[in-house]
Each structure stands twice: as structure tokens, then as C-alpha cells.
Structure 1
Amino acid sequence: MSNKPPSTLRRLLLGGAFAALASLVLPGPAAYAEPTKNLRIGYQKFNSVNILKGSGALEKALAPQGIKVSWYEFAAGPQLLEALSTGAIDLGHAADAPSVFAQASGKSVVYLAAEQPYPRGIGIVVREQDKVADIAALKGQRVATGRGWNAQYLLAVALQDTGLSYKDIDPAYVNNAADAVAALQSGSVKAVTLWDPFLAAAEKQPGLKTLRDGTGLTNNRTFYLSSPAFADENRGVLKTFFTELGKVSNWANAKPKEVAALLAPQLGIGADVLEVASERRNYNAVAITPEITAEQQKLADTFQGLGLIPKPLKVADAVYPVSVLP
């Protein structure tokens, strides 16, 4: 078997490497003495923010206020949140685990809103030829994952659910989904943790299968985040952002085929892959409720218990106290 991922998956995964270069050309920190005139948004492949970018609706909504919009693509949540914390971007989205790790590392970021649960959008993937029957069969095996990934959290709770612990596997840490899948294809690991659209792409490849997704284990929410200073000075801009985001999210929920058609040429990803991922997702943003905060707290406590977060943290401290939803 070739060590290279099949062509469709390979194009998708390698795109993340080029996206990561965006961080090298981002503008420097901005001062927020007054409302911004250039809203800098970080996004990842296949998300409601990505769809909003493709629609052009936000630019039209903010133009009368003299506000421009700049977009920066990132390979994953940790890189996006690093840029947000340094002031290189103003607003972005990331999954639950990267958001907790950002708070744990002392980054100045706040939760603004969350998406609906998306448990089928993360998974633990294996090769059929390895005959891995269940999560328990991963005991003592190497598993490729990333530090602070939402799919790393899935791995931790899936092991707990079957009576094992994270210490019962040999984690092989990688920086991106491309490296994870390459390791699986080469046979150097028995499983990898992935998220959509990389998960959907892997599921379409012969010889690969999802051993377990997040159903019943984790809600796998996407969060919208900013810095406290930017949010304080730009609540009106943020309300406009979430208004336009809500419109495209409603459209995306109802039209997965159209979502795929919109994003496929933009991302260089097959429409069949994007349609699968879109059909199992609810894009709508909601306020951060005590229940959602409790979900995040459980995640933080789990990682802290594994020694991956050095000390306890209080997720509620990072929730922005003023609603910016329309």
C-alpha cells in the first residue's frame, strides 16, 4: 500500500500546510481605542465562517459603516487562537479543546457564542486491514493525535468509556491532519483522530473506517472567540457579524448540496466530501449557557486530570459577559 494518502484526501490535507503559512503574513496587533475599520477574521476550512466568507454578505453589511473585512485561513484551531491572542486577528472560531487549551495557557481570549452539537464531526479512524474491532483493541497501540485537538478529547473519553485510560495507549503527537493520516496509511500507528472535513474525506477512502465518533461522548462544539478589548470596543460590529452569520447558517442547514457547491472550488475539496460533512452539522450559533460552560469545564477537568493542562481553570472566567448575538 502506498504511504501517500489517496489523491482527494491528499489535496484536502495538504491544503492545511499552505493555510498555516497565513500566520507568517498576518498584520501586527491593533489598538482598539475606537471601533475598528478593518475586521480581521480567522477561519478554518469548512465552517459557517468559511461559508460567510464565500457569500460576501458580511462585506456588504459593513460597507455602509466604512468597515472592511479581511480573512485569514488557518490549518487548525490552536494556530488561529495563537494569532487571536497576539492581536493579529480580531475574531475567529475554534473547537472546544483548542479553546480550553488557549485559556489554560493564559491567552487573552473570550467566548462569544457556540455552535450546536456536532458529535459526528469527529472520529477515531483505523485501517480495515488492521482488524481493530473496538476502542479496547487500541490498548498498547500507537494512536496519532494532536495536542489540544477536539478529536484528542474524543480519544480520551472513548478510552474512559471502555474502561481504559489515556495512559493505556501510546500517543503519537502530530501537528496537522495530513501527518496523522500519513502515519495511518504507512502503518506506523493503529488509529488517528480526525475532524470534518478531514474525517469525511477519510471515510470515503477504501480501506479506512471510523471506529468511533463523538456520539454519546462529546458534543464537539465550535466556539466563536475574540479578545476582551476588541469585544468591548466593537459590540456593534460583532452583532452585525452574528446577524449575517445567522442568515448563512440557516441557509447552510437547509441546503447541504449548495454548501458543498459553494465551498468545493474555493477549498479544492470534492463536493461529495463536503456534502457528507454538511449533512451532519447544525451551523447555528447560540449563546453560551451554563450548560455549555459546564461541558467545557468537564473537558478542561479531563485534560487537567491527564496532566495535559498544568492546573485547574474556571471556564466561566473566559465567557464574555455581554451578549453580542442579535
Structure 2
Amino acid sequence: MKKNIWSSAALFSAALFFIIVLTGCDQNGSTSADSNKDITINIGVQGATGVLPYAREKKVFEEAFEEKGVKVVWNEFASGPPHFEALASGRLDFGATGGTPLIAGQSGNVDFKAIAVTSDGKRGNSIVIPKGSQIKDLKDLKGKKIAVAKGSSAYNFLYMALDQAGLTDDEIDVVQLQPDEARPALDNGSVDAWSTWEPYATTAVFQTEAKSLADGEDLNINAPSFLVARTDFTEEHEDLTVLFLQTYEKVLQEFIDHPDEVAQDIAGFKNLDVEIVTTVLEKSNLILSPTTEEFAEAHQEQADFLYKSGGINQKLDTSEVIENKFVDEALKSSQ
């Protein structure tokens, strides 16, 4: 792939670095106050069907942290990259994103830790085509307009998929759109395909009879998703970081033990068809795990591809941002 295909992602990394220079001293998130009553934790959330969106509706984190005198504030984002802008400026303490935003954040010198893996990501990203499309395989994307959110996990997935198909950057037309812009563009024919993540892919399939051209499982592309945390917060409040993970695990257990009830709840909260929610949850393979050797290797492969493709301007050692001690403690204490 030619290096200019990733010029926008490289600019994204540069923008993150610029944010740090401007706002590195502006820590308006949680404080280092001696008393928990002075602490607010800011949690990022995106999408409709994951553990954090469900927990927000159920106020599980509010209940858990209220006992510690800590206030919980939710911050909603359309995709992963804005999480890292907020982490860089101190406006966010915890969030959940795919792996590509982590790589861009690390390249941009954002001070954060990847504190747990939340999915293996094998079926988390898909390239979707509209009903009636003549596109049959990845090679048919040549000359087509493809919507994708820049810097997202679906962005890297798209280029890894194109690389497998032997397509170069000048053979496709990438249109950078957030999900709320990309879905209408797919529906009205403004774009020929859409690289996106769940629940958007499944929602498009169910609501418009769109088709999934390929996902990570089809292409053997593993892209773990992570919980991330602002490093200063984890260092100042190790106990609250563990509590965050314990609370996440508690909610996740509801997904595992009562999947039908959880799907019904989410469908009601978000006005979605319960069949859509059930399918998304089945594809998501939600977990809470340390970053094992397998996950670490998959994440490093993503970073290496970005470097080779020109998306980042330095070769990264992604293990530098991985921190397993908090999730190890959380899982040990929950047994």
C-alpha cells in the first residue's frame, strides 16, 4: 500500500500531540484530592450495545462509586479517536475503544494505559455493502467509494482487507465519515461500501438488507478491543481503577448469565429490534481479560501494519502502554 493512504491518520496522530502540548497541564478531570468526595471519574462511552452503555443506563457505576464518595460523569463519543483527545486534555479517565485509536494515541504521546482487553475483535469490524450491490468480493471494491471513520478500528481493518485483496490506495476512493453520516450515505447510494464496527454493521444488515462483504473472522484479522485509562488517574487512585474493572466485570457477568434479558433491556433503551441486539452481542464476544501474549501479538501486528502503511511515523512497542496489574487484581478479588 502507498504511504499516502494513511495521511489522514498520520495527521490525526499529530493532532493528538498538539493537544498534549496545549493542554498537558489542564487536568480538569479527576483530582489528586485527599478525600474521595472530591473525586470525579469521567468515563467515555460509544455505541449502544456494549457493557459501558448498558451500565450507564442501569447506573451500576454510580452505585459502586457512590459508596466511595466518588461522582461518575459519562462522556459520549462517536468513535474511538476522540477518547484520546479527551484523555490527553485530562477530561477523561476511562474509556473503551478498538485497537487502532490506541496505536494513534501512543504515536501521539498520549499518556494512557491499556488496562484490559474487552473483545478479541474477530467479528467486531465489517465491510458492508448495500442491498442489490454488484460487489461480490474485496477485489470488486476497485474504483468504489468506501465510507469509514478515520482513525477508528474499522479504518485499519479496511486497509488490511484491501492489502489482502492486492488493492492500492489510488484504486479506491475513501470517504471519511462518522457512523451517523456513513449510514445515510450507504442507504442513498452516495458510497458503495462502508467499513464499520458493531453494532452499526449488523444494524445496517437487519434494517436495510445490506450485506457483510467481509469481517475480521473471514480475513483472519484479529483486532482486540481495550479498556483504557489516563495514567495519572491510575497512579493516584489504584483502588478506584481496580473498582472500575470490578464493576465492569460485574456488568459483563450479566451479559453472560442473562443474555436474553440484557438484549431485551438494550433494545428498550435504544429503541432497537431485539434480534439486532442479540446478533450484535453474539458477534461481540465480550470478555474482560489481561492482555495475554496472543492479544499483545495481535495488537502489535496492527501497529506494525500502520507503520508499514505510513499511518504512523514511528515503529511502536505497543507493550509500553499495556498494564495488566489492575485487571489481575480485579479478577482475583472477584473470584
Quick check: TM above 0.5?
A: yes
**Which residue in 2 is equivalent to 1:276?**
279
Shift of 1:321: 6.2
After superposition, the C-alpha distances for 1:118-162 in whole angstroms (9 at most, x for unaligned) are: 322321011232310100111222211121111122212222223
**Which residue in 1 is equivalent to 2:28?**
28
Once residues 167 and 231 of structure 1 are traced to their aligned partners in structure 2, the CA distance between those partners, rounded to angstroms, is 44
Shift of 1:196: 1.0
Which amino acid in 1 is paired with 2:150? R
Tell me whether 1:76 sits opposite 2:79 in the alignment.
yes
Which amino acid in 2 is paired with 1:31? T
After superposition, the C-alpha distances for 1:209-239 in whole angstroms (9 at most, x for unaligned) are: 1111110432332211111110011111111
Which amino acid in 2 is paired with 1:99? L
Once residues 29 and 65 of structure 1 are traced to their aligned partners in structure 2, the CA distance between those partners, rounded to angstroms, is 17
**Which residue in 1 is equivalent to 2:269?**
266
Shift of 1:249: 0.8
Which amino acid in 2 is paired with 1:41? I
Which amino acid in 2 is paired with 1:222? S
Is the 2:124–2:283 contact (alpha carbons within 8 Å) kept by the matching residues of 1?
A: yes
SS of the residue aligned with 1:112? Answer: strand
**Which residue in 2 is equivalent to 1:221?**
224
Shift of 1:279: 2.0
Shift of 1:323: 3.1
Pick from 123, 126, 135 the counterpart of residue 132 of structure 1: 135
Which amino acid in 2 is paired with 1:32? S
**Which residue in 2 is equivalent to 1:17?**
none
Relative to structure 1, is the Cα distance of residues 316 and 34 closer, same or farther in structure 2, using a 3 angstrom cutoff? farther
Is the 2:126–2:154 contact (alpha carbons within 8 Å) kept by the matching residues of 1?
A: yes
**Which residue in 2 is equivalent to 1:301?**
304
Relative to structure 1, is the Cα distance of residues 263 and 205 closer, same or farther in structure 2, using a 3 angstrom cutoff? closer
SS of the residue aligned with 2:284? Answer: coil
SS of the residue aligned with 1:65? Answer: coil
**Which residue in 2 is equivalent to 1:170?**
173
**Which residue in 1 is equivalent to 2:314?**
311
**Which residue in 1 is equivalent to 2:15?**
none
Relative to structure 1, is the Cα distance of residues 93 and 206 closer, same or farther in structure 2, using a 3 angstrom cutoff? closer
Pick from 245, 249, 252 the counterpart of residue 249 of structure 1: 252
Count of matched residue pairs: 299
Matches within 5 A, 1:95-114: 95-114=98-117
RMSD across aligned C-alpha pairs, in angstroms? 2.1
Once residues 127 and 33 of structure 1 are traced to their aligned partners in structure 2, the CA distance between those partners, rounded to angstroms, is 53
Tell me whether 1:190 sits opposite 2:206 in the alignment.
no
Tell me whether 1:286 sits opposite 2:293 in the alignment.
no
SS of the residue aligned with 2:291? Answer: coil
Shift of 1:207: 4.1
Is the 1:40–1:72 contact (alpha carbons within 8 Å) kept by the matching residues of 2?
A: yes
Which amino acid in 1 is paired with 2:171? D
SS of the residue aligned with 1:119? Answer: coil
Task: Tell me which moved more, 161-170 or 256-265.
Answer: 161-170
Pick from 152, 155, 175 the counterpart of residue 155 of structure 2: 152
**Which residue in 2 is equivalent to 1:180?**
182
Which amino acid in 1 is paired with 2:133? D
Pick from 91, 94, 97 the counterpart of residue 94 of structure 1: 97
Shift of 1:193: 0.7
Shift of 1:309: 1.5
SS of the residue aligned with 1:115? Answer: strand
Task: Tell me which moved more, 157-166 or 275-284.
Answer: 157-166
Once residues 208 and 66 of structure 2 are traced to their aligned partners in structure 1, the CA distance between those partners, rounded to angstroms, is 47
Once residues 239 and 222 of structure 1 are traced to their aligned partners in structure 2, the CA distance between those partners, rounded to angstroms, is 19
Once residues 269 and 99 of structure 1 are traced to their aligned partners in structure 2, the CA distance between those partners, rounded to angstroms, is 29
SS of the residue aligned with 2:42? Answer: strand
Relative to structure 1, is the Cα distance of residues 200 and 179 closer, same or farther in structure 2, using a 3 angstrom cutoff? same
After superposition, the C-alpha distances for 1:269-295 in whole angstroms (9 at most, x for unaligned) are: 333321210122222210122332221
TM-score normalized with structure 2 length: 0.82
**Which residue in 2 is equivalent to 1:47?**
50
Once residues 58 and 146 of structure 1 are traced to their aligned partners in structure 2, the CA distance between those partners, rounded to angstroms, is 29
Is the 1:54–1:262 contact (alpha carbons within 8 Å) kept by the matching residues of 2?
A: no
Unaligned runs of 5+ in 1: 1-26
